[in-house]
Structure formats: C-alpha cells, structure tokens
Amino acid sequence: MWIFDSYYKGCVELWGREQGLRHASIARPPSFYMHLKDPPAHQDMIEALESRFGAEECSFQTIFGTLEGHRIYASRKVAEKIEIQTRYAAELYNVDVRQDHRYMAEHDIFPCGDRDESRFSPDFEFPLTSLELQVAGDPSMPREISYVQVLDGRKRTLEGSERQVISDLMDLIKSHDPDMILLPFADTWVPLIVKKARRYGLEPTISRSGWFKQMASKSYWSYGKVNHKDGALIPEGRVLIDTAKSFVYAESGLKGVLTASRLTGLSPNLTSRFTPGTLISSYEVFEALRRGVAVPFRKRDAESLRNISELKACDKGGMIFQPEPGVYEKVHQIDFTSLYPSIIVKYNLSPETVEHPELKGFLSTVLSPLLNLRIETKRLKKTNPEDYAGVDSVLKWMLVTCFGYTGYRNAKFGQIQVHERITGISRELLMQIKELAESMGFQVLHGIVDCLWVIGEPVSSFKEAVERATGILTEVDSYDWITFLPQTDGSGAYNRYYGRLSTGKVKIRGVMARKGDTPEYVRRMQQELFEILAEASSREELRRMGPKAQEVRRRYMDGLEEADARELAIHRRTSRLSYSRRCAEASAVQAHLKQGIPLAPGMEIGYVVKDAKRWVVEPQRTAEGFDARYYRKLLEKAWKEVEFVL
C-alpha cells in the first residue's frame, strides 16, 4: 500500500493507494521499556504494573548497549508516574514516539513509497490526486468566506452567500475526493471553514472520516530568537498543505515534502508543517526504531562531567578568516559538500563513540545514506533541476540541522562533546586547506567554516588536492569579480559580499536585498542595481556602470513620494508582546492589537513607519502614509552597498 496519511487513535490508522483508496486500522496498544538499576527496590511497583497494565521482563537495545528491564503496556501518563515514584531513577525508552511511526519502522514500511523500493531513491512516482484552492480575503483577519477559486486543470470560482460557498466547496471536495488539497493559508482558513460548515449543518468533507487532528499553536526559542508555530486542523485520510506558510513546501515544493515523508516516516501532513530540525530528529528516531534501537524518553547523556581545563581546551565554534574589503578579480570559492554531516560520517562521531571510538556509531551510520543521497541529488540537479532541486533542498536543510541537534540538550541522539568535536575537526580542515592553497601558490582572500575564497590557477588542481587530503567532496564557484564589503570600522565584513559568477549571474549574501525585513521598494532598487552590475565582467567595466546605476538610484529616490505604502512595509518577528522601551516593534505590536489582529511571540508582522522620530507605525494591511525621510535613509543604505564597487 502506498501510504499517504497515518496517525494513532487507539489503533494505527493508515490511508493509502492500492488498486484504489484503502484505509486500514491496526490494533496496537502503546508500550514502553523501563530499566531500573535496582529492581528489587521497586518490586511492589513492578508487580502493580504487571497486574494492572501488563509488564514482561525483556532485554532491549540502546545505542550504548543492551539493557535488562521490562516492557510495559501503558501510555505516557503511566511512564510519567513511574518517574515520580522512582524519583527519576527509572530509565524509560520509546515513551514519546508516535505509535504509527513505530509501527511502520518495526514493519519496515514507510509513507509515500512501496515496500519493495528504496527510501533513499531520488526517483519515485506518487499516485495521488490533488485539488488546488484559494480563498479570497485577508488571512490575518479572516471574516466572511464568499469567494473560493478552484484550480483543477481549469479555473473555477465559487461565490455567493457564505453558506452557499461553503456548501458548494464541501460538495466539490466530496465529488472530486482528492488525496491532497493545496491551499495558501490553509491552517488559517480550514479551521474557520470547518467551524462554519458545522454551524450551517454541513458535512466537513475536507476530512475523509469527518474528524480532524488538532495541532496547537505555540511560541518557542530557537537559536537565540523567538519563533511561532501556527496551530492547524489536519484532516484524516487526506493531505492538506498550507502552501503559503509551510517552510518545507516553500523551499522544496511538493516533491520535497514527499521526500521528507519517505525519509522520516511521518505523513506529508506533518512534514509540511515541521521544521528541518524536527525532520532530522524524526528521521533519526525512525531509523533507530527500524534497527531495533530504543529511543530514550529523557536525556541522561547530554554532557559528561569534565574539569575546567577540558572545557577550556575544547572547540566551540567554526573557523572564519576576516577578508580585506575590496573588489577582486578571477576568484574561486571552494565549498565542502555538507561538511558537518561529512565529518560525522567520516570520523564516526556519535554519543557512544566519544568514549569508545572502536564502535560503529549510530549517528554516522544513519546519516551516511542521507549524505550519499544529497551528493547524488546535487549531481542530478545540475542537468535536471526541475526534478531534483526540491529533493536536494530538503536534504540540504535536514543535513544542515543535524549538526545543531548534536548539541541540543534534548536531542534523542545528541551530545555536546560530539558537537564540539565536529567544530574542532572543521577548524582543522579549514586551516589544512588554507595551508594547502598557499603551498600551491594560491592567494587566500576569505574563509567561512566550510568554504574558502582563493585567487590562482588552475583551480581544478586545487580542488583535487583538497578532496585527496580531506576525503570530503567539494564544489567550486568561479567569479569574474567579487567584493567583500567593509564594516563600519573599515575592516572586512565576514558575511557581506557579492560578485559576478562566470555564468553571468550575481551571487549576493548579507546585503539588504537578501534580508527578510527589507521593504520591497528598497529591495527592488537594489536588485535592479545588481542586474546592472551583472553586465560588467571586470573591475574596469564596473566603473563604467556608475552613470547607469546612478540613474536607477535617482529614479527610486524621486519616485519615493508616489510609492505604494504597502511596498514600504518592514517585516519582522515579534519577540514579545510588551516592551519596556519605545521602538518600531513595540509600536507595531500595539497597532496590530488595536486593530484586533491576534498576535503571539514569534509571529511575523508587517508595518510601515509613519513617523520615525516618535515611532508611529501602521500595520501593512491598512497603511497609507509613510515617513519619506526614514525610507530615503534605507534607500541610501542599499545604494552604499552597491556604490562600494563603483
């Protein structure tokens, strides 16, 4: 069965395609493993568990070896009570894994694929029928639903009274019976549509069973900033993808979402809503369950005891060389392919190999096929980007975050010593290839963790030498010219640069056109300027682009007064809802709340600055006027980044 939806509600529920639509319910009581260092001290509890829930003595495998204990047929609530009763002396495993996830892993089946095919193949067919919808209106303040556009080979519209539109939509979904619905802002519109359908006495056919799974919204910290995850109403037996808010869909398209599902063992409903970090964590859990390795409930090995001299000696970051600001010609950028995952695999890094390097590490073993798949898709993408770019993108993000999860205190298979060892090795490798470049007569301009910028020829010889010395694959980008921008003190910026590749395309990093909070009007000006710079293939030709670039700058400066205020919106994530000082974000939060727009920490808001002196702002959706002086400064800042090369 080609499974496209799975969940657990007393039974494992699987929906798939096998000579038509198929739904299977498999009875499977929840269970978990318990290991006690002193079982006789808890004999009364063990006997109570045996009589009330069912418990049996067994041995089970962890990444650190085999443990003796019990398998207890009960839920997470019982596991939490065991922890309290044993004062957290009990080591518990497989408590919080998804039951459908566990069932598929233990039976060697996976979503979005057939049993006889490889999960790690970039080529697969998906026999799903789909329906694209679009609901008219402002999703930040959803009100009456009176217009829905349907895209199923031809454009159709449903319009009229709200009851009629929702009734027609439910009938349409029932008659088409698609396996998948693609809808921008689905996680905003679907809960509202379902609520109103029930109020009108209509059957909510978005779900094939009539029931929905609720995902709660939440705000959370990640890498030093607040993020927000929207709630969702997920239909049973159907895939619903929010095409406007799903990070994975935006970055990798439908094939990327399905690839993530195949690899992680999660349904596309979940892979389209989860972050890359949750995807790589789920992949590791699925692989552990598939290999018969129990997954710890609480982390006990986040960090072992170390003395202060060990802590001072260990590496805690990547290596960066500071560039000299300026414009350089005939430059090559050599990048390691998925450096950190490659280090994990090559050096056999895993929590259990820190003390016992002779063991075959769990992390290195499970990441190896993922890394090989990434290498293959990168190669295929060069000749067929349409088929493989999405797969490559989702693999890139999963492999990027696998390094961060080795140092995350709650990661199931992470440990800070592994994290530090990875950065230590990456530092040694960057120093190694810098010295190699200089020994071969290349000039080193800049380096950031996994890549180096050099001047010299032939770069193919240097590439071969690096791969031979490190055992890690690399890629080379060649520039006709590149500029490293200065910081305010005149020294070179580490991550702000742009240049014209030998293909004629301009690659930009760290400048205003790349920043998420840059107003669209300002971004458009800088992008036009970069298009002009793309015409120059040398430093001499760059200088001749000055008058043309000045004309673009003048046009945007002169046209600012007539610009659409909504194109001047600044988009930022709210870190909190109350501020102790006056600033643009504080005013923006208050302006949104005043208009009745619900907010939570980590949500993205768009606002237009009306008076920068008093920080008077207005939400993007209702903005009319703006502070022209403030936006001229932003235009000037964007211009200065380009003017540097002229």
Non-local (6+) Cβ contacts of 278 within 8 A are none
Tell me the sheet residues that pair with 374. none
pLDDT surpasses 80 at 578: yes
HSE (side-chain half, CA atoms, 13 Å) at 319: 20
Give residue for tokens 């069912």. 54
CB 315 within 8 A of CB 423: yes
Non-local (6+) Cβ contacts of 581 within 8 A are none
Q: How far apart are CA 340 and CA 403, in angstroms?
A: 6
pLDDT in the model for residue 223: 65
The helix/strand/coil state of 532 is: helix
Tell me the sheet residues that pair with 17. 2, 21
Query: Stretch 216-242: mean pLDDT, rounded?
Result: 87
CB 245 within 8 A of CB 274: no
CB 396 within 8 A of CB 335: no
Q: How far apart are CA 429 and CA 433, in angstroms?
A: 6
Q: How far apart are CA 346 and CA 579, in angstroms?
A: 48
Q: How far apart are CA 342 and CA 554, in angstroms?
A: 48
pLDDT surpasses 90 at 522: yes
pLDDT surpasses 80 at 301: no
Strand positions, DSSP E, 280-407: 320-321, 326-336
HSE (side-chain half, CA atoms, 13 Å) at 37: 5
Query: Stretch 566-589: mean pLDDT, rounded?
Result: 89
pLDDT in the model for residue 168: 96
pLDDT surpasses 70 at 6: yes
Q: How far apart are CA 386 and CA 389, in angstroms?
A: 6
pLDDT surpasses 80 at 277: yes
pLDDT in the model for residue 405: 78
Least-confidence region, from 225-229, 241-245, 273-277: 225-229
pLDDT surpasses 90 at 222: no
Non-local (6+) Cβ contacts of 536 within 8 A are 481, 500, 542, 544, 545
Query: Stretch 304-311: mean pLDDT, rounded?
Result: 79
pLDDT in the model for residue 334: 97
- How confident is residue 154, by pLDDT bands cut at 50, 70 and 90? confident
Q: How far apart are CA 436 and CA 568, in angstroms?
A: 48
Least-confidence region, from 68-77, 495-504, 518-527, 570-579: 570-579
DSSP label of 388: H
| DSSP notation for 555-604 | HHHHTGGGS-GGGG-EEEE-S-S--SS--HHHHHHHHHHHTT----TT-E
**Higher pLDDT among residues 134 and 315, named by residue:** 134
Cβ density class 196-220: b for 16+ within 10 Å, e for less: bbeeeebebbbbbeeebeebeeebe
pLDDT in the model for residue 306: 80
**Higher pLDDT among residues 241 and 604, named by residue:** 241
The torsion defined by the Cα of 612, 614, 618 and 619, in degrees rounded to 10, comes to 80
Residue-wise pLDDT tens digits, 404-450: 878 777 788 988 889 999 999 999 999 999 999 999 999 999 999 99
Backbone phi and psi for residue 406, each to the nearest 5 degrees, phi listed first: -70, -25
What kind and span of H or E run contains 619? strand 616-619
Percent of the chain exceeding pLDDT 70 equals 99
CB 193 within 8 A of CB 145: yes
Find how far residue 143's CA is from the centre of its chain: 31
- How confident is residue 621, by pLDDT bands cut at 50, 70 and 90? confident
pLDDT surpasses 90 at 474: yes
Q: What token pair was written down for 407? A: 């140092």
CB 331 within 8 A of CB 445: yes
pLDDT surpasses 80 at 81: yes
pLDDT surpasses 80 at 220: no
Domains (range + CATH), the chain:
2-106 (3.30.342.10), 130-273 (3.30.420.10), 320-510 (3.90.1600.10), 564-625 (1.10.132.60)
CA-based nearest residue to 398, from 286, 253, 274: 274
Q: How far apart are CA 434 and CA 456, in angstroms?
A: 13
- How confident is residue 315, by pLDDT bands cut at 50, 70 and 90? low
Cis amide leading into 458 (omega within 30): yes
Considering the chain, what is the average pLDDT of its residues?
Answer: 93
For CA atoms 523, 524, 525, 529, the dihedral sign is positive
pLDDT surpasses 70 at 103: yes
Residues across the chain: 646
Give residue for tokens 């590496």. 315
